[in-house]
Amino acid sequence: MLLLVFVLLIAASATAFNYLLGGGPIGVIIAVLIAIAMSFGSYFYSDKVALAASRARPADGPEYQRYHNLVEGLCIAAGLPKPALYVVDDPSPNAFATGRNPEHAALAVTTGLLQMMNRVELEGVIAHELSHVKNYDILVSTIAVTAVGVVVLLSDLGLRMMWWGGGRDDDNEDSGGLGMLLAVLAFALLILAPFVAQLMQFAVSRNREYLADVSGVQLTRYPPGLCAALEKLQSDQAIVKHATRATAQMWIESPLDRNADAKGSKLNRMFDTHPPLEDRIKRLKEM
């Protein structure tokens, strides 16, 4: 359903792009080629980009032995290959998984998480992240990010070319009332499509967080571990210094704004990359 809706949205954006530019196929071909290149790069190099953007470094050294031991044990239990392990030098407790499949996955945790969590809590967080790998959430996120990028690209190119005089000729046969209506609808679609695509991306991200919580608990067989870890995350107000909006959805909790007292409106919550921590904690306590 996710792919179908994204395909329909991309097709509608491409149609609006083509119509507003007078039906010229060259611009659409260029946009498609750029989109293909973006998709290729996102699929094969998204993990490297995410790790570099987060300033992650390999978790080498005896001080990270507990980290390695927990990951190895959980991977054996889950039937997963051990991902590459990284550490982000940041006092804010957080973690994320990235990659395109279990064979090409990476797991990163902050130094703050390693210091703050006891063994049971850290195991719950790692199980949550490994569940993202096992459930192919890392691939779903890549697909969503790529699809949003394609829609934004088509919208941006179409609006820019219209602005610089590359739109339809008003003297053509479609310049009547119907043509004007179609032009207005196409213009509105190019403006609204990026927002719709991002709302879909954020909705997918929130649902996958709930799924990873449940899958992580099934892996550890101990709901209080992850529940206690989320409660510590809820009480911590720090943000990850090198996190960006582009990578925010990968982390176990939003690295940008963790103010639990900030109760946004329902409209603002639609743009959240993560469900509220209190909701996630409540669900875990009910298990």
Q: Kindly give the interhelix angle for 277-285 and 223-235, rounded to the nearest 10 degrees.
A: 160
Q: Check residue 92 and give its pLDDT.
A: 92
Predicted pLDDT of residue 100:
85
Confidence check: pLDDT of 191 > 90: no
Q: How far apart are CA 94 and CA 251, in angstroms?
A: 7
Beta bridge partners of 56: 88
Catalytic-residue membership of 129 = yes
pLDDT(97) > 80: yes
The secondary element (H helix, E strand) that includes residue 73 is: helix 65-78
pLDDT digits (tens, 9 = 90+) for 109-127: 999 999 999 999 999 999 9
Q: What value does the mean pLDDT take over residues 59-86?
A: 95
The pTM is what? 0.78
| pLDDT, greater one: 171 or 222 | 222
Give the position of tokens 């993202």: 132
- pLDDT above 50 (res 171): no
For residues 100-115, average pLDDT: 94
The count of residues in the chain is 287
From the list 121, 123, 129, 253, the catalytic residue is 129
**Phi and psi at residue 123, to the nearest 5°:** -60, -40
Q: What are phi and psi of 127, to 5 degrees?
A: -60, -40
Query: For the segment 142-151, what is each residue's pLDDT rounded down to a tens digit?
Result: 677 667 777 7
